[in-house]
A and B are shown apart, each in its own frame.
Chain A
Amino acid sequence: MNSHTDRNSHLSARPLDLVNGRIDLTHGGGGRAMAQLIGEVFAGAFDNPYLAQGNDMAVMPPIGERLVMSTDGYVVSPIFFPGGDIGSLAVHGTINDVAMSGARPLYLSAGFILEEGLPLADLRRIVESMANAAREAGVPIVTGDTKVVERGKADGVFITTAGVGALRDGVHIAGDRIQPGDAIIVSGTIGDHGIALLSKRENLEFETTIESDSAPLHGLIAAMVDAEPDIHCLRDPTRGGLASTLNELAHQSGLGMVIDEDAVPIRPSVRGACELLGIDPLGVANEGKLVAFCPRDKAERLVSVMRAQPFGQDATVIGHTQADERRLVWLKTAFGSERVVEWFNGEQLPRIC
């Protein structure tokens, strides 16, 4: 994506038809059409000094701290949904993956697989949304790549982003650091993203005001780590929802968990939609929430720090960990009984991210 935009500025090709035009195979062919697409759609939107170096890679200054890196592919369907789109999601998702280590996300890369026939207007909308998300988060997209595949070989657009971050000394946040008796905190309401998406699925459209919670959480995490460097673990409950994340961490830490159904924040509209569709909100995806594990005596302070942040206003303690060889996640139901919470494989909601 960094290639040759300036050098091509003398070309006299007609500008892209960003209203009615579509991606065709020449846009991935490595020739002038590709350079024009990059120049008119990507370069201006993502503009930053590293991208402007114009090479096939970006060279960044040394950081003097531990490096953190993560990558994720985005194939969400539909590509536009209430509260976001595949572009903003691709920025937020990877920023969050990097930040869950406690690191400050610094740079992103973006790879696009475009399907022949994709409206250029859609592409531009996605790219602008991505650029806005990156700008608002303060994490520039410094390098990228574009490929075009024949119609039918992809579904509109797929995006892969990678992120790099810097991790300061003394912070060690990981699944195997969770201790028995740790408090389990969620940063806000559960299930918003999955239900917002489902409400726009073809054949399933229902009226709702629910929006995806897609958001960058590195600001929230920075405040948390400043206040309490001894946070044991952070994880974002994306695919498979809170239920799968807790099971994953129970396995990684070798511990059991107990959560209180009444304490888990769920919007009434999300609860209602789940009821209607026969879905357990604990298994529904989130894209702007985290689960935190910390010593129980630090939980109250951590929650108050989180509540002061825009993406942590509904933070609350939902349970605790306990020694349990069988690594079970128990739910105390609002009904007054107890049950085990299993992993969700979420196949009824394919391609939520």
Chain B
Amino acid sequence: MKFASEFRDGKLARKITATIAAECRPDRQYSFMEFCGGHTHTIARYGLEAMLPGSIRLVHGPGCPVCVLPVGRIDSAIELACDHGVILCTYGDTMRVPGSHRLSLLKAKAAGGDIRMVWSTLDALKIARDNPGRDVVFFAIGFETTTPPTAMAVKMARAEGLKNFSIFCNHVLTPSAMRAVFEGGSLPLQGVIGPGHVSAVIGIDAYREFSDEGMPVVVAGFEPLDLLQAILMLVRQVNEDRPRVENAYVRALPAVGNEKARGVIAETMTLRKSFEWRGLGTLPDSAVRLADDYADFDAERRFDLPYRTVPDPKSCACAEVVRGIKHPQDCPLFGRGCTPDNPIGSCMVSSEGGCAAHWLYGRHNMAGKGQKEPA
């Protein structure tokens, strides 16, 4: 498998970790936030934390789309399917995200809601074409990576005159979430691993505002060597005390991002004044909705969906986990009632969520009494 196995070379990994260990200063602590859930997944899957020196701490960030989706948005999606009788199309990850009253899209589907898992917005368009008598709504979530396909779907729907298709738009913006984490102020971070695929759309200049304020940022790809390389670059930035934005993902990521993708977003969408995030609160200018010119395709307007803020379940620490303040296993519910099979909080749903990644790859089993390492 070319272009993947080369970036999973264990021998090379040990060389990089040895260099990292040699360059870490003994009197320093290095806390780096991996913003993106894709990175969280790779770190857990390959056990990267255990390969790094003790002075490096990796902190999960809010870059997991389903983790930052507030309960109120899930409730609205369920309302669309169950009360408005639409065909609700959604990415698989959102199916198990808990809403109010112990409901989720999966449970709403079992209760009779017509909810269909799709792999792309093109599938949702096809469902709309095949069911001209039904309203078909695409439940759009995610950061700047999943926004362009939604934007394209809206353009195609208009071009085709697909009147029964609309979007429940919940796309959010990476820089806003980063700002919210840094402005929260309670986190002593020495650097950020920037998201590779988001940056492939928005470009790396989007993080300049953070490095200008003293925060080193290295944008990384998603293979284990990509991440180790980024960590080494961050250690060097910290040691040199020269914060800047660097690109460790040059094989996929042009520094300017993707102008075309940004173009379709700008054409079809507009900034929301405010948007509620799970864990980060209500943030100004942090999400998009469909532009007025495309209002006909906006499910919130078409179905007059009200938005209600719903508090997270009691004891659930997702809010602290997405800010990096708490480690997944510090949550009182972790593994005690909250597991990927039956998640209480959103971080336990997707394998990109901090809690689910830890659970799935057993990182919580790595420490503690009675541990038996592989023989």
Q: Which residues of A contact B (CB under 8 A)?
A: 203-204, 256, 258, 268, 271-272, 275, 320, 322-326, 328, 330, 332-342, 345, 347-348
Contacts and interface: CB of A to CB of B under 8 A. Distances in A.
Interface in B304-339: none
B312 to A, nearest CB: 24
A204 B116 CA distance: 14
B13 A336 contact: yes
Given A275-B1, A326-B370, A348-B92, A339 B45 contact: yes
A325 B4 CA distance: 36
A161 to B, nearest CB: 27
B179 interface: no
A141 B44 CA distance: 48
B197 to A, nearest CB: 13
Nearest to A325: B370
Interface string B93-132: 0011000000000100000000001111001001000000
Among B117, B363, B374, max chain A CB count under 10 A is at B374
6 contacts: A256-B372, A328-B362, A335-B8, A336-B14, A337-B47, A339-B361
A144 to B, nearest CB: 31
B303 interface: no
B47 A333 contact: yes
A335 B13 contact: yes
Given A203-B126, A272-B1, A326-B365, A337 B51 contact: yes
A250 to B, nearest CB: 12
A148 B150 CA distance: 42
Interface of B: 1, 4, 8-11, 13-14, 44-48, 50-51, 92, 95-96, 106, 117-120, 123, 126, 224, 340-341, 359-363, 365, 370, 372-375
A330 B372 CA distance: 10
B1 A271 contact: yes
Contacts of A347: 92, 95-96, 106
A336 B10 contact: yes
Contacts of A330: 374
A247 to B, nearest CB: 11
A342 B359 contact: yes
Given A275-B1, A338-B374, A339-B46, 10 more contacts: A268-B1, A326-B370, A335-B13, A335-B46, A335-B224, A336-B11, A337-B47, A339-B47, A340-B365, A347-B92
Contacts of B118: 203
B271 to A, nearest CB: 30
A340 B14 contact: no
Contacts of A203: 118-120, 123, 126
Contacts of B361: 339-340, 342
Contacts of A328: 362, 365, 372
Contacts of B360: 342
Nearest to A268: B1
A326 to B, nearest CB: 7
Contacts of B341: 345
B10 A334 contact: yes
Contacts of B340: 342, 345
Nearest to A271: B1
Contacts of B45: 339
Contacts of A338: 47, 50, 373-374
A169 to B, nearest CB: 35
Contacts of A337: 10, 46-48, 50-51
